[in-house]
Every structure is written in C-alpha cells, then in structure tokens.
Amino acid sequence: MLLYNNLSVTPQGHLAVGGVDTVDLARQFGAPLYVVDEDQLRANCRTYVQALAEAMPQGSMPLFAGKALCFKGLYPILKEEGMGADVVSPGEIYTALAGGFPPERLYFHGNNKTDEDIAYALDSGVGCFIVDNPQELDRLDEAAGARGIRQRVLLRVTPGIDPHTLQAINTGRIDCQFGVPIETGQAAQFVAAALGKEHLEVEGFHSHIGSQIFEAEPFCDAVDILLDFAQAMRTAHGFVARTLNLGGGFGVRYVESDPMVDIPGNIRALAQHLKQGCAAKDYPVPRILLEPGRSIVANAGLTLYEVGGVKTIEGYRSYVTVNGGMTDNPRYALYQSPYTVLPASRMGEEGDFLCSLAGRCCESGDLVQENITLPQPRRGDLLAVLTTGAYNFSMASNYNRLCRPALVLVRGGQARLAVRRQTFQDLVACDL
Ligand SMILES: *Cc1c(COP(=O)(O)O)cnc(C)c1O
C-alpha cells in the first residue's frame, strides 16, 4: 500500500490516484497540478456523518472547516454528503453560497469580524455565529436588532488544553488570541453578557484544542472541562447548552511513520465519555458538532510537479528543482511539515538518489521537502507530493508572480477541472 489505498501503480509504472493515471493528468491539465480524489473526499465525509449519527445525539453533525480547502465546486459535494460548513471570512461565505450551499448550515468563525463581515453574514442568512469575544457580542446584538432578527450563536471558550502539537497550530491553551478562557473566570462573564442580549440566542459552547491529534483523549479532556463549565453556567443562570462544538483537529498520515486515525472509533469513545459525563451531572446530553478540515481533504489530495533539473553541491547535497513550491504549498517553509514524495512517472524504479526538493521562488527557504530518495531524477520527470489536499490550495500565493495551479477532481476514474490555472491576465486583473 502506498500511504493511502486510493493510490496505485499502473502497468507502465505510473502513479494512479482514484484509478486515474497521474501522467495523463499532467499531460491533459499541465503541472504543477492539484488533484483531489472526490471519491476519497466523499468517503471521508461519510465516515464523520455516519459515526456522529450512530454514536451521538440527534442533530450532531460534522462541519467542514473551509480554511483547509475552499473553492466553489467543493460545496455541492459537501451539501450532498450532509455536511455543515465552517467559514472564517465573507470570502468563504461567498464561495460556499456561490457553490449552492445552504446558508443555514454555515457556522461563522473569526476573532475579528468587522462590522461589514457581520452585516454580510447576517444578510446572507448564516445559520450560526461562533462568537469569539465580548466586543463581538455587542456588535452582533446591535446588528441583529437592526434587522429585527434573533441570531443563533455559540460562544468560543478556551479550555486550557495542550494536545502536544506544534505551538503554531495549537489553539486550546489559555494564552492564545482565540476565544475566552474558562480558567480566568472571563468565560463566565462572557456567558452572562451573551445571555443578556435580546437579539442573540445562545445555543452552547465552542472549543478548538489544536490540530494533528491522533486519539480521542484530548477531546475527552475538553469535554470534561466544557461540561464542568456548562454545569456552572446552569447553576448560575439556569442556562442549558444544547450544543457543544468540539472543533477540528483529527490528524492525518503524511508519512509512513504516522499512525492511521480510527475516526469512528474515536467518535464512539468520545460519545461514551460525553454520555457518562452528562449522566454524572444529570445534564441533558448536548448535540455534538465537530469541525474536521484536514481529515476530510488532506488524503484526498496530491500535487503533481515536473522536475526542472538537478544541482549537486559537491560535499553537501543535491537539489532537485520542481516547477512549483512554496507558492502552492508553503507548509514546509512555515512548519517543516513532512510529506511523502513519489516518482509518479517512474514508480517501478529504485529510489537511491538522496536529495532535497526545491521550489522555483527566489527564496532559499523555498523547499518542498528535504532528504528524500528518488530514482536519479531527470528533467521532465513527474513527481507527486502526497496528502496535500489540506492547507495547500487554500494557503497558496502569487509570490514571484507565479500563477496558481489548476485543481482537478477525480471521480469514478474520470477527471474534471474544478479550478482553472491562473493566467498572466489574472495576475494584473486588479492592477490599475
Ligand atoms: C483550523 C480549525 C479547524 C480545522 O482543523 P483541522 O486540523 O484542519 O481539522 C476547525 N475549527 C477551528 C476553529 C479551526 O481553527
């Protein structure tokens, strides 16, 4: 098996994804190219939808975190699969609605929603706001009142959990810019303020503890803290939370040494923990929302690059240059994220050439991966970087005025273009 079982090798020794030859994809659509296996993506959605439906109270639902991957053609898929969606900006709201996604299934995040953002989201009929701070409560209450509506909200709190991941992608600790901490007593004041708002309907609480989490334990810890907090709020205000949103964060396998995450098993364990916790407090079991981003799209995606050349620095190392890099995948430059790289056009050959993959930007940090082995690379070889479905397309830039790659969806052995490659005209489209 090649990291994930939607990958295979054709008789010509080419890498195939979802049954489609990647060499054919590069020939048809060019490289660099983002490829997303729609069958895998749909299967990942179903895993969450079914596991939540089976183990959790009615109304429980996964919300896809759009920051991981966001383009118009994704939203009809999410809608069909019964997902809700997290959005963090009016641009994400616009994209979801342009893709025909029902606004009532949108959950609007953000630690600095501007007055324009709030107005746009309210006028779009966004189902629920995840309120980050007391100032947002005031602004949202005012804006909802001006429209004569009562807006559903969840209150974002920080439970103070460190799930032992990278600090840059770890948001459950108290010292962070998202949400209101429970431990300092500020979250209790936040709830009191929210319950006093005439135009807001508080549904419950939200917490997001971090990313690349491989087991249920950190989520169970978050549930313990949230239930204690919910109990205290019931005692203080008679308020009962109907919904707990536990955020995103289940991990994915980037390299062979990463574990496979048992998502249904983790959700069952979490459900059992939740029900026991509620029973002990005689608290009505709230519905559960999860916000998976990475674990829905990462392993559905891969990126194809063409090799430009090889440069060996005598006594140091060899660089293999590809026709993309930090502009389409900034994650190695940002966090030294590990990825698996395969010689997509030469899968049958022995990989004994030690090298680092360099992008094409004028930036020494523009590396895709270091210390990998490939068959002695040649100009024109096709390489595949696996598991790039999350936080690649969505974090891409036009640095060095490089055009963003196209994105193709593969389903049932067929490929279709979902996002076309940018052109030079696109690069100057906003320039006056
Ligand atoms: C980033 C984020 C997510 C998604 O995290 P993944 O690790 O991609 O699952 C969900 N919710 C919030 C609030 C986030 O910030």
Give 350 Cα–ligand 1 centroid separation in angstroms.
38
φ, ψ (nearest 5 deg) of residue 139? -65, -40
Q: How far is CA 411 from the centre of its chain?
A: 21
Task: Using the atom order of ligand 1, give the atom closest to the CA of residue 390.
Answer: 8
- Tens digits of per-residue pLDDT, 394-420? 999 999 999 999 999 999 999 999 999
362 has catalytic annotation: yes
Task: Using the atom order of ligand 1, give the atom closest to the CA of residue 67.
Answer: 1
Q: Are strands 243-245 and 287-290 parallel, antiparallel or unpaired?
A: parallel
Query: 């006594």: which residue's tokens?
Result: 315
- Tens digits of per-residue pLDDT, 339-372? 999 999 999 998 999 999 999 999 999 999 999 9
Ramachandran bin of 242, using left for φ above 0, alpha for ψ from -120 to 50, beta for the remaining angles: alpha
What pLDDT score does 170 carry?
A: 62
What pLDDT score does 176 carry?
A: 86
Overall pTM > 0.85: yes
What pLDDT score does 284 carry?
A: 98
Q: Which residues pair with 7 in a beta bridge?
A: 17
- Report the distance separating Cα 125 and Cα 2, nearest Å: 43
Per the structure block, which two tokens stand in for 315?
């006594």
Catalytic residue from among 176, 361, 362, 430: 362
47 lines ligand 1 (CB under 6 A): no
Amino acid in position 150: R
What pLDDT score does 160 carry?
A: 87
294 lines ligand 1 (CB under 6 A): yes
- Report the distance separating Cα 366 and Cα 369, nearest Å: 9
Domains of the chain, CATH where assigned: 7-37+298-427 (2.40.37.10), 109-292 (3.20.20.10)
Ligand 1, residues 45, 209, 211: which to mutate, most atoms within 8 A of Cβ? 211
Give 84 Cα–ligand 1 centroid separation in angstroms.
14
> 3-class DSSP state for residue 60?
coil
Band (pLDDT 50/70/90 cuts) for residue 35 is very high
| Nearest CA, atom 1, ligand 1 | 248
Band (pLDDT 50/70/90 cuts) for residue 162 is confident
What pLDDT score does 174 carry?
A: 81
Contact predicate 89/130, CB 8 Å = no
- Tens digits of per-residue pLDDT, 302-341? 999 999 999 999 999 999 999 999 999 999 999 999 999 9
247 lines ligand 1 (CB under 6 A): yes
249 lines ligand 1 (CB under 6 A): yes
Contact predicate 321/358, CB 8 Å = yes
- Tens digits of per-residue pLDDT, 232-266? 999 999 999 999 999 998 999 999 999 999 999 99
* Residue (of 254, 297, 285) closest to 390 by Cα position: 297
Average pLDDT in the chain: 96
> 3-class DSSP state for residue 281?
helix
Give 294 Cα–ligand 1 centroid separation in angstroms.
8
Residue 124: C-alpha distances to residues 76, 141, 201 (Å): 18, 16, 18
Task: Using the atom order of ligand 1, give the atom closest to the CA of residue 298.
Answer: 8
* For residue 167, pLDDT beyond 70: no
65 lines ligand 1 (CB under 6 A): yes
* For residue 26, pLDDT beyond 80: yes
- Report the distance separating Cα 372 and Cα 398, nearest Å: 27
- Report the distance separating Cα 413 and Cα 17, nearest Å: 9
Burial 351-379 (b: 16+ CB within 10 A, else e): bebebebbbbbeeeebbbbeebebbebee
Neighbours of 217 (CB within 10 A): 15
Q: Which residues pair with 205 in a beta bridge?
A: 155, 244
Query: 């616009």: which residue's tokens?
Result: 94
What pLDDT score does 161 carry?
A: 83
293 lines ligand 1 (CB under 6 A): yes
